[in-house]
Amino acid sequence: MGTENGHNAIVSIRGLRKTYDGKPPVRAVDGIDLDVHPGEIYGLLGPNGAGKTTTISICTTRALPTAGSVVIDNIDVVKHPSAARRSIGVVPQYNTLDRSCTIWENIHFHCLFFGFSRAEARARTQQLLDQFHLAEKANSYPAQLSGGLAQRVQIARAIAHRPKVLFLDEPSAGLDPQSRIAMWEIVQGLHREGITVVLTTHYMEEADELCNRLAIVDHGRILVEDTPAALKNSVGAQTIYELDLHEPVPDLQQKLGMLSGVTAVEDTPRGIRVLARTCDGLIGDIVSTAQSSGLRDMRVTEPTLETVFIRLTGRDLRE
Amino acid sequence: MATNARIVSYARAFAGLFMRDLYVLRREMFPFLIRVAMNPILFLFVFTYIMPHMSGGATLSPTAGSGAGPSFSTILLPGLMAVGIMFSGIAAVALPLAQEFGITREIDDRVMCPLPTGAVAIEKICFSAVQSAIAAAIVYPLAYYIPSTKPITHVTSWPFLIAVVILASLTSGALGLTIGTTVKPQQIGLIFGVVVMPITFLGCVYYPWALLDKMPILQHGVLLNPIVYMSEGLRGALTPALPHMNAALVLLMLLVFLSLLTWLGVKGFLRRVIG
């Protein structure tokens, strides 16, 4: 099974489409192909409504595609959903913890659902509670937990049956900055253990920080796919140099514009702004050119995924 | 996966779900008992204890003047058991499902069990049936000991009684599943007025079906109500001296309703959880 799909890939999506009936019908996913390699953290970055959640829902057997295939760990998830569920762990956007059970019971019963013996389930639950620093909360109920803790429990539960791939849908939605960083550390820890992680996000910092590779998604299609660094160096991504000058110097603009890699030079109230493709040695050239013209200060802004997204779509990620 | 391994895996997942439900029920035993017992206690207390004791109450009593006829408590015993069984199905499946679909989405995690999704719905029916059977066992002594005139009960066939209780309990769970997956979560409160009350009052709970013979339209109309077969089946099994429906017909109709409601319920469940 799945040999026609990308070999070596642990998650392989081909020609995925999903149209929701309605007036007019909504084309949520419009032809997505992608491969996720074992052990990597793969991100789907895009604005709300781009089709990320639908893609994850199909991968995790909670939605049926209109067309296309998803193969995870050599199992076709559309044809064999219950077998595929053994290979996947899911943390959805919202809290799905069992409100009638304590944290300990939530994880324990999850293990039993996946065929663990009681002793195995007990041992695994204890291990996860320790690993995720949840031991103190073992007897609390989900309603008593903060958003960050509830999410930590959800991640612990999702990996309790040792899935090969963990899907995180908007993991930092609704988290405070501290919880978000704690969550990143957890995901990086799982990555070191060798779990493949697929996550969706509309926070470019998150995609940049966490993902080995990512796809920028909009209107149900993948616009580009690469490592965060390569994406930032790609399609018109620019480093911005803000120069503060003592006073305006007439021919400085022209001189800076001649440097190789520089694509635009603009006046600013405090001096000059240089936009340039990322290339080695440029910063030295800019400084030496501007120094004789009374350079007071300089700030460098590296290209971000947000600038990449804007270049690709003409829109802001959060619009 | 080999077929055998797959069946073992499904069975363990199913057993896990069942154990989780039992565990939660055990912890919430007290509210469960109150829920099951309150309706029959009040009903029996008012109609079979207070009324017969009222001065001039004989004229108010539903069985006034029937003299040698069956006591109202004998008519009520199987009927109230049927209501207990049916009501448990609604309370164990329909109400929690409405909450899970509408607010908590806990169901999304249950659906991720390594089990065909329909089996998650079937587990709900089975567990609900356990609650219904417990409810029936609780209602029986209440209906026997509260009335001032003791009902006359006699079990002629234990296998028939057991078959009726099991089928009625499963059918109630399937009814609960159908309701819980069909009705919008915000309208679940309406269910009591629109479904539960009519099927109870028109379910031959407070009167034997055979005595409707003077009203043929009603007598035939109520045959569409599954509660009728629960009440009449229990009447045949527990109070055979009263007029009651044919045993084979009762079992057949319970099977028909069980199949129909399970099919509708599982279909509705799949529609709600799989996008």
Which pLDDT tens digit goes with each residue over A197-220? Answer: 999 988 888 888 899 999 999 989
Share of chain B above pLDDT 90, in %: 48
Return the residue in A86, A113, A154, A165 with the most chain B beta carbons within 10 A, the one to mutate for interface testing: A113
Q: Does B111 touch chain A (CB under 8 A)?
A: yes
Which of A151-160, A307-316, B94-103 has the highest average model confidence (pLDDT)?
Answer: A151-160
CA dihedral A268, A272, A277, A280 (to 10 degrees): -150
pLDDT of A316 > 60? The answer is no
Per-residue tokens: A162: 């040792």
Which residue has tokens 């009638």? A100
* Contact by Cβ (8 Å): B184, B97: no
Domains A11-232 and A239-302 share a fold: no
Cα separation of the two ends of chain B: 26
Look at strands A221-226 and A67-72 and give their pairing: unpaired
pTM score, whole prediction: 0.84
Q: Phi and psi of A100, rounded to 5°?
A: -85, -5
The mean per-residue pLDDT over the stretch A37-55 comes to 91
pLDDT number for residue B68:
46
Rg of chain B over Cα atoms, rounded to whole angstroms, equals 20
Matching residue, tokens 């007598």: B219
**Whether pLDDT at A4 is above 80:** no
| Record: fold of A11-232 | Rossmann fold (3.40.50)
* Residue A98 near residue A107, CB atoms below 8 Å: no
pLDDT average, residue stretch A289-305 = 81
Class of domain A239-302: alpha beta
Per residue in B113-154, pLDDT (tens digit) is 999 999 999 999 999 999 999 999 999 999 999 988 888 888
8 Å CB contact of B275 and A64: yes
Using an 8 Å CB-CB cutoff, list residues of chain A that contact chain B. Answer: 20, 54, 57, 60-64, 81-83, 85-86, 90, 92, 94-101, 105, 109-110, 112-115, 157
Give me the count of residues in chain A: 319
DSSP letter string over A281-296? Answer: THHHHHHHHHHTTTEE
Confidence of residue B57 (pLDDT cuts 50, 70, 90): low
Backbone angles phi, psi at A14, to 5 degrees: -130, 125
Per-residue pLDDT band at B166 (split at 50, 70, 90): very high
Residue B256 CB neighbour total at 10 angstroms: 13
The pLDDT of residue A319 = 47
pLDDT value at B58 more than 70: no
Tokens of B213: 């013979």
- Mean of pLDDT values over A131-159: 93
| Entry field: residues in chain B | 275
Q: Hey, what are B273's tokens?
A: 């959880």
Numbers of helices and strands, H then E, in chain B = 14, 0
> Closest partner residue to A82 among B15, B108, B114, by Cβ?
B114
pLDDT at A250: 76
Place of tokens 């996860």: A128
User: What is the rounded distance in angstroms from the CA atom of residue B250 to the CA atom of residue B164?
Assistant: 8
* SS3 state of residue B199: helix
Q: Which residue of A has its CA nearest to B99?
A: A99
Q: Give me the residues of B, 17-36, that contact A with CB < 8 A.
A: 17, 19-20, 23-24, 27-28
Task: Record the tokens describing residue A263, joined without a space.
Answer: 């694509």
Mean residue pLDDT of chain A comes to 87
The predicted pLDDT at position A76 comes to: 95
What's the sign of the alpha-carbon dihedral A114, A115, A116, A121?
Answer: positive
Over residues B66-101, the pLDDT tens digits come to 444 568 888 889 999 999 999 988 888 998 888 888
- Under DSSP, the state recorded for B2 is -
Please state the domain extents for chain A. Answer: 11-232, 239-302
**What is the pLDDT, as a whole number, of residue A3?**
42
User: Torsion angle, CA of B149/B154/B160/B163, rounded to 10 degrees?
Assistant: 40
Helix, strand, coil in percent for chain B, rounding step 5 = 75, 0, 25
Q: How far is A133 from chain B (nearest CA, A)?
A: 22
Q: In this model, does residue A224 exceed pLDDT 50?
A: yes
Q: What is the Cα–Cα distance from B142 to B73, expressed in whole angstroms?
A: 11
Peptide bond into B70 cis (omega under 30): no
Distance CA A61, CA A115 (A): 19
Q: Tell me the per-residue pLDDT of A89-122, one tens digit each, with 9 for 90 and over.
A: 999 988 899 999 999 999 999 999 999 999 999 9
State ipTM.
0.86
A94, B105: Cβ pair inside 8 Å? yes
- Does B64 have pLDDT greater than 60? no
Cα separation, B203 vs B80, in Å, equals 11
Whether residue B23 and residue A105 make contact (CB cut-off 8 A), yes or no, is: yes
Output the pLDDT for position A317: 58
- Report whether pLDDT(B1) > 80: no
Please state, in angstroms and rounded to a whole number, the distance separating the CA atoms of residues A40 and B38.
58
Residue environment code for B101-134, b if the CB has 16+ CB neighbours within 10 A, otherwise e: beebbbbbbbbbbbbebebbbbbbbbbbbbbbbb
| pLDDT-above-70 percentage for chain A | 93
- Shortest CB distance from A62 goes to which of B6, B15, B274? B274
Q: Does B217 touch chain A (CB under 8 A)?
A: no
Tens digit of each residue's pLDDT (9 = 90 or more) over B24-55:
999 989 999 998 898 889 988 888 888 888 86
